[in-house]
Amino acid sequence: MLKFDFTNLFSDAIVNGISINDIKKYDEIIKNITKKIDDNKPGFLEIIFSRKWIDSVLDLKDFIFDFDNLVVLGIGGSALGNIALQNTLRPFNWNYLSKDERDGKLRIFVIDNVDPDFVASILDTIDVHKTLFNVISKSGTTAEAMSNYLIARGILENYGLNPKKHLIFTTDPEKGVLRKIANEDGIKTLEIPQNVGGRFSVLTPVGLLSAYAAGINIESLYDGAKNAYSKLSNPLMKNPAALIALTHYLYYNKGRNIAVMMAYSNKLYYLADWYRQLWAESLGKKFDKSGNEIKVGQTPVKALGAVDQHSQVQLYNEGPDDKIITFLKVEKFERDIKIPSVHNNEEALSYLQGNKLSALLNNELKGTENAILEHGKPSMKITFPQINELHVGEFFMTYELATTIAGELFNVNPFDQPGVELGKKITYALMGRKGFEEYKITKNGERIEI
């Protein structure tokens, strides 16, 4: 299982810190919150106790492995989990390997933006005859996912290819235009459970299809998620999700309104990217559950060690006391490289020569962790014994639970995102979508033309 180390959150050295006694005062509150979550399991938790979602993907085995490429078209929660799974659990050169080297599994591309240079460069790379497009959208209305769907379908039709054979939609079981098109055109679909929102959907078919297509063991992901769940009813000091939520909440109340997740692993960096949406959209809210204006939210920031030691750590150490940092560490990397002894007479290089890169990276982590502490800033650490499905699944579920618990502490609804609507509506108006004319931007009473 993952190893959680909260020690450096409670040190006397921390400026305006919190103590274990401060934490223990929340024993009862946390017990009630976790019981409430367990008794009324949110959708993202409920799914791991059913085979339905895994089986719906495994059933597609014969269909999927005929292709060479899977291109995911989605954005936000309909893409970040796929990107995280691919980058943590497959080597970075995966898409460059031959089909044999990939053991017959698919290359995975995720088009999660509408930057034409980006979209075109991926479309240029793939042979459309050997490509399956997985359009993912819970709502089936998101402009970015829908425009990329239209482009993909246009290409298929230009090539004279049957869209039914090259498309699969992952969407709401009943609602939305994707469901409608699928019903009309006989396109294969996977369901996103209605009670699971985008940013909590990585362990639904949203994340499972591309993971399975790339040969990731999706059953182990679920086992890892269950390991995280098994600690939900633990006493507070042995309950990682509750401790993450509570310590971030308490430090937020002491002015630490930035939560940095600093991964000492290029692979785990993508988990920090996934976490950013989860923490930001779930907890950044104008109103509490009773409708009072509160404007809360902790800004999640991702960082990469050792790279950002040479970019961000100056600020973390000496800047304002507004951050709480989470380090992600890998104990045993899949590969390692020994630094050769090339310059035997160079004193300045001798400490490096003969050592392994993993040792250097993890000692850099230790160095930064201690420096951060000496500068009076709180940090915690999550250690992955190895990067595998079990630990990645546990990470996802731990943070989904932590976010839900934090929602209770902040007294906000972690499952909605009303604040993203206005921008979407203005975009619709600018793009000429019927019914959204009133959202067109005005300046001194005059419409801005596009």
Ligand X SMILES: O=P(O)(O)OC[C@H]1O[C@](O)(CO)[C@@H](O)[C@@H]1O
Q: How far is the CB of 338 from ligand X (least distance, A)?
A: 43
Q: How far is the CB of 385 from ligand X (least distance, A)?
A: 31
420 binds ligand X (CB under 6 A): yes
8 binds ligand X (CB under 6 A): no
Q: Between residues 197 and 378, which has the closer beta carbon with respect to ligand X?
A: 197
Contact 185, 166 (CB under 8 A): no
The rounded distance, in Å, linking the Cα atoms of 48 and 396 is 12
Candidates 32-40, 52-60, 73-81, 85-93; binding stretch for ligand X (CB under 6 A): 73-81
Given 295, 310, 434, 443, the catalytic residue: 310
198 binds ligand X (CB under 6 A): yes
Given 105, 166, 267, 281, the catalytic residue: 281
Identify residues 125-154 at the interface with ligand X (CB under 6 A): 137-139, 142, 145
The rounded distance, in Å, linking the Cα atoms of 332 and 383 is 10
Cα 121 to Cα 109, 118, 125: the distances in Å are 11, 5, 6
Q: Is 424 one of the catalytic residues? A: yes
By CB atoms closer than 10 A (0-12, 13-18, 19+), residue 325 is buried
Candidates 27-35, 70-78, 300-308, 364-372; binding stretch for ligand X (CB under 6 A): 70-78
Q: How far is the CB of 281 from ligand X (least distance, A)?
A: 5
Q: Is 310 one of the catalytic residues? A: yes
Contact 208, 193 (CB under 8 A): no
Q: Residues 105, 107, 166, 199: which binds ligand X (CB under 6 A)?
A: 199
Contacts of 232 by beta carbon, 8 Å cutoff, 6+ apart: 34, 37, 38, 239, 241, 242, 401
Is the bond preceding residue 429 a cis peptide, omega within 30 degrees?
A: no
Question: Interface mask (CB under 6 A) for ligand X, residues 89-128, using x and -?
Answer: ----------------------------------------
Question: Interface mask (CB under 6 A) for ligand X, residues 262-301, using x and -?
Answer: -------------------x--------------------
75 binds ligand X (CB under 6 A): yes
Q: How far is the CB of 109 from ligand X (least distance, A)?
A: 18
Q: How far is the CB of 182 from ligand X (least distance, A)?
A: 15
* Tokens coding 213: 């297509």
414 binds ligand X (CB under 6 A): no
Q: Residues 42, 44, 57, 77: which binds ligand X (CB under 6 A)?
A: 77
Contact 171, 189 (CB under 8 A): yes
Q: Is 61 one of the catalytic residues? A: no
Cα 223 to Cα 11, 50, 130, 249, 390: the distances in Å are 34, 12, 32, 28, 6
Q: How far is the CB of 212 from ligand X (least distance, A)?
A: 19
Q: Which residue ranges make up the site for ligand X (CB under 6 A)?
A: 75-78, 137-139, 142, 145, 198-199, 281, 417, 420
Which residues are catalytic, by number? 281, 310, 424
